[in-house]
Every structure is written in C-alpha cells, then in structure tokens.
Amino acid sequence: MKETVNTPETGPVGADAAPYGAIDRLRETVAAGFGTGVSPLALGMALIDWSAHLAAAPGKRLELADKAARETAELLAHIATLAADPTAAPVIRPPPQDRRFAAAAWQSPPFSIWAQGFLLARQWWHEATHDVPGVNPHHENLLSAMVQQWLDMASPANLPLTNPEIIARTLRTGGLNHLAGMRNWFEDMARLAAGQPPVGAEQFRVGQEVAATPGKVIFRNHLIELIQYAPATETVLAEPVLLIPAWIMKYYILDLSPENSLVRHLVQAGHTVFCLSWRNPTAEDRDLTLDDYRRLGVMAAVEAISAILPGRGIHAAGYCLGGTLLAIAAAAMARAGDGRLASVSLLAAQTDFAEPGDLALFIDHDQLNSLEGVMRQRGYLTAEQMLGAFRFVRANDLVWPRLVRAYLMGEREPMTDILAWSSDSTRMPYRMQGEYLRRLYLENALAGDRMLADGRIVALRSIRAPIFAVGTEEDYVAPWRSVYRLHCLSDAELTFVLADKDHLAGIIFDPAQPGSHYRIATRDPDDTCLPPEDWLRTAAWREGSWWPAWSDWLARLSAAGRVAPPGMGAAAAGYPVLEDAPGSYVRQR
C-alpha cells in the first residue's frame, strides 16, 4: 500500500504523483512570471459560465433587448428636448460617489449627452452581467467587475477630446498642459524603474515629518521591533496599550504627521503606548507561517510588556490584518487561561470572512493557485501586487482621476502623509500569505472555529476581555457589516463603533477635523446579536472623532488608575533600550 502524504503546497498526494505535481508547480511558476497574479483561467471560466447561461435564457435576452431599446429611445427623446429646453432634466444621473461628471461643464451638450450615454451603457452592462439564471455568483461578480473596468477605461471623462475640463485647460494654456503631462509621465516612469517613491513623498521623512512621536526601540527579534513611546503627561494610566498594525503596511500608519497620529493622541491622553514595527521580509523568509507572525509578533510583544510592567493588564489593539491576527492570539491566550489582555480593540479588522469585500473577486481556488505561483517564484508577495487588486475594483476613485489629472490636465495631486505612507509598503512571505488567504478568505476558518494556533483549535467565543470594534461606512477592504459579524461570534462585552469615511480615513484622521461623525453602542454578554440594520437604528449618533470615545473606554477599564510613568524598557529584565524610535525595520526597503 502506497503512503499518502500532505504537503502545504500540493495537498494529499501519492508518492508516485509527486514528480508530476512538481511539473505543474514549475509550469505555474513560469506562467506567473508573465502575469500579474490574476488568473486568466478564472476570467475565462467566468466568461464561459455567463455566456453559456445567457444563451440558455431567452427571457433574460429579451429583457436586455427591451431595456436597450427603451434607453436608446429615452436618450434620443432627451436630445430632442434639449433643442427647446437646454436645462431639461437628464435621463440618468451618476451615483453620489461618482464624481467624474460633477463639474458644471458636464451639464451642457454635447458633453452631458456623452456622459448620459456612457452611464446608460454602464447600467445596461451591469444588468446584463447580473441575474442571469444559473450563473455562479462569484463568476457573476468577477465578470461584472471586469466589464465595468473595460467600460470605465473608455469613459468620456478619460479622453482628452470628450472631457470639457481638459478641453478648457488646453485652450487656456495653449496645450502646455499636455507637455506638462508628458513630463509628469516620464518622471513617474523613471521613478518606477528606479524603485523610487512618487513625487512629493520626500516631504514626509520617516522619523521627522511622520513616525516622529518620541520613543525607544526596547525589543527586537527576527520579525518585529517593539517601540515604547515616551510619556507626555505627569501621570499615566497603569495599563499600557499595545498597537498591532497589519503586516502588509509600515507601522507608521498609526503615527503619521502629528495631527493624524493615533499614537500621539493616546500618549497625550495619558496612556503608555507600545507599537509593533514589522520587519520587511525577503525571499529568505519564505517559510515563515501565520503562526510565526502570532508568536514572534503579538506574543513576543506581550511577553516584553509583561516583563517591563509586570502584573498589569494590556490593552491590545489591532488595525486591519493586525486586528485579525490579534483576534487569533487573544483566542489562543483565552484557551490557555492567559489573562494578560485587559481588553481587545479591533480597528477595521475582520474576523468573519463570509462577506470579505472587494478582495473576494480575486480569491478563489484558481486565483489563489495562480497567486501562489507568483509568490513561489519570488518567495514573497509585494504589497503593490496586493493593493493592485483594490485599485482595480476602485479604479474610478484610485486610478483614472489621478491619471487624468497628472497626464492630461498636467497637474500633480498634492502629496499627503497617507499617500506618502501608501508608497512605503512591505512584503509578505510566501507561506504565511498563502495560509492567510486560504485559511481565512477561502475557508473562513476563524469564524468557523477551525483556526489553529500552536496546532490547536481556537475559538473567538473563548475571549472574555471587553472588546472595542470599529467599522467604517465606506470601507471596501473590510466592509463594516463584515466587521460587525463579530457580534455573533463573541460572548464578551462588545462596544461597536461605525465611523464615517473609509478604511484609512475612517481610522486615521485629525480628531479636530470638522464634519466627522460616528455611531456607537455597547452589547452586554447576555444580549442577543442584532442584525446590522437594527443596530444602525438603535446606536447613538455622535459628532466628531471616535478617538476620544475609545480613549475614555480604555480609561474606564483601568483598574489601577493613574501612576507615575514607567521607565523606557527594562534592562534588568532583558529589554534594554536599543535605539531611538522609529527604529531600523521601518526603514527597510
């Protein structure tokens, strides 16, 4: 009888099958070198699924033909009406978030006609790719997103001869905007080829304009540096705060320019703050696992803080994927009876991936197989490859407006601290990233009580420490309803906040910025899990930033009150000061 073995790359294989599997993996690796990680097979399967079912649905085809005829007639009637009434109401208006045609110049013919024709075509194709009987929902969403991207590429807003704003600027400058745009393009291509950050990013230097909150690196291992920030008040709350950023990003998203620094806000509110700074992995780190990130990251930081401040609970807070990792670590600690976490805060962090947002378009078994080919070749995945998927599905916000402004209008978008940070990304080891995508996105193992830590199952219901969770209204990375699902997975006291804005601006922004708002409500352990829409109706609506509310929540949980600030590190306990913040890992390229 032949022995069957399991390998992380191939799954169950017989001994005789291993050489043939190696041939397939070699083919995938070579093919990945000529692509972007998006599987053409997945796109082809979606197209075949949709076209075959559409061909077998005469009712749907008649519906689409009728809709095309009616929309064409409505547009022609509108054009005729414009001859007598130039202010006639349009046939179709863009959704509120689509600002491409918001300028006054777009409201007059012929530009208004071109815009409406485009919007009608976009709406027709949306209906053509949806609700076709029998089509796999994932294929439907993937194909619809691809069709919308192809349409948006040809939007009249992106073309110099159909965009009235570009035409007006060309006439005003005598065509110099196009020369400026060419110069911008050559400059950007040169920087891209040289591996340099975008123009203007040099204004935000790490350790000076950003990541400038005073502190010391008091621990370092192969994966993290732990920063302890200097106190800014005469007394501090006894329990420290540990911040865990996502491994896909440099930590200083939490410590941007002073007005946008969550770290500085906490320090000034009287908290002792520690923060992880992730190492930028290389090909040599390809075999680091997700559990290595938990052990060498979260747990190593907890051990260090416990040695520096023995006997004090720790308020742990994770942002984005850092929050997901914290949830796994907190569940593993609860399983082991480790009560060192005084609270758990999850900021725009998912624990249930049943509705994971836009990234779901690019995560299925075939796509992941293709992506693993990319990672296998290099030993890691770049953040640019990961972020490219989000830019794809939000091209109207993140791609086309910027290209039009820089290359057709000849204007540079003002650089900000967040834009500069977004160009300073980290890599993700091959094995860890594959495990993360497969176990969390494909299998939803954490929500299903199938996630392993130290080889044993962990369950979110084991966590008894109070939880503070934040979602944002316009989040396309971690949709707030997905974040909200934690209510049905946890038996702990849970305070949930729904902030305005998106995944970045809803979490990181100046608390003094006017016009912000959030909703907040606390669920006791014995309360039932409300549907998200019911929660929206009952949660308290408040103006301003949720930062002070979170800081006050942490203060209420401080059993020991305020004490004198601790020293930096603890050399006697094996945690001496190593260097000034922001440390060395954040500067790695």
Among all residues, which ones are annotated catalytic?
320
Q: Give the separation between CA 242 and CA 251, rounded to whole angstroms.
A: 12
Closest CA to 267 of 292, 303, 241: 241
Q: How far is CA 324 from CA 329, 439, 505, in A?
A: 9, 12, 19
Instruction: Label residues 335-359 b or e (16+ Cβ within 10 Å = b).
Output: beeeeebbbbbbbbbbbbbeebbbb
CB-count exposure of residue 70 (10 Å: 0-12, 13-18, 19+): exposed
Residue by residue, DSSP assigns 361-425 as GG-SHHHHHHHHHHHHHHSEEEHHHHHHHHHHHTHHHHTHHHHIIIIIS--PPPP-HHHHHHTSB
Q: Give the separation between CA 18 and CA 5, rounded to whole angstroms.
A: 10
Q: Give the separation between CA 254 and CA 52, rounded to whole angstroms.
A: 49
At which residue do the structure tokens 């397939």 appear? 24
Q: Give the separation between CA 344 and CA 54, rounded to whole angstroms.
A: 49
> Can you say whether the dihedral through the CA atoms of 547, 550, 556, 557 is positive or negative?
negative
At which residue do the structure tokens 């209906």 appear? 127
At which residue do the structure tokens 């908290």 appear? 271
Q: Can you read off the two tokens belonging to residue 97?
A: 């978030």
Cα maximum dimension of the chain: 86
Q: For residue 421, which amino acid is it?
A: W
How far is CA 323 from its chain centroid?
12
CA angle, corner 237, sides to 236 and 238, nearest 5? 110
Closest CA to 553 of 235, 268, 308, 269: 269
CA angle, corner 466, sides to 462 and 469, nearest 5? 100
